[in-house]
Amino acid sequence: NAGVMQNPRHLVRRRGQEARLRCSPMKGHSHVYWYRQLPEEGLKFMVYLQKENIIDESGMPKERFSAEFPKEGPSILRIQQVVRGDSAAYFCASSPSRQGSGNTIYFGEGSWLTVV
């Protein structure tokens, strides 16, 4: 029973380049969440997606960041023109549905982005 799979685990980008982080949810899960954790800070919600739909992007920076979850394939978090402040761990989580307060979400091991 594979868990949430994220890749790459570590990514180094120069300032101005693009970063693409991928997330494959657990089998049977159709809801994906992205969180960011800056160095020595807590986890911050970024975006919540269902297949082909962005449900809540209230935590996404207004510029340079985008997310998608296509009908086929993994969810992608895309960061354009990266800056040093984008250096962080990006965690993806998934759940089978959002109905009901009792549902929990399961996290992947994260993707560590370093901007040099």
Partner 1 sequence: DAKTTQPPSMDCAEGRAANLPCNHSTISGNEYVYWYRQIHSQGPQYIIHGLKNNETNEMASLIITEDRKSSTLILPHATLRDTAVYYCIVRNYGQNFVFGPGTRLSVLP
Nearer to partner 1, 17 or 112 (CB): 112
Report the residue from 33, 65, 69, 77 that binds partner 1 according to the rule CB under 8 A. 33
Note whether 65 and 78 are within 8 A (CB): yes
Q: Binding partner 1 by CB under 8 A: which of 15, 16, 27, 43?
A: 43
Give the residue with the Cβ less far from partner 1, 4 or 21. Answer: 4
For residue 100, state whether it binds partner 1 (rule: CB under 8 A).
yes
> What's the rounded Cα separation, in Å, for the pair 29 and 55?
15
* Total residues at interface with partner 1 (CB under 8 A): 24
CA distance 107 to 85: 23
Cα separation, 21 vs 67, in Å, equals 9
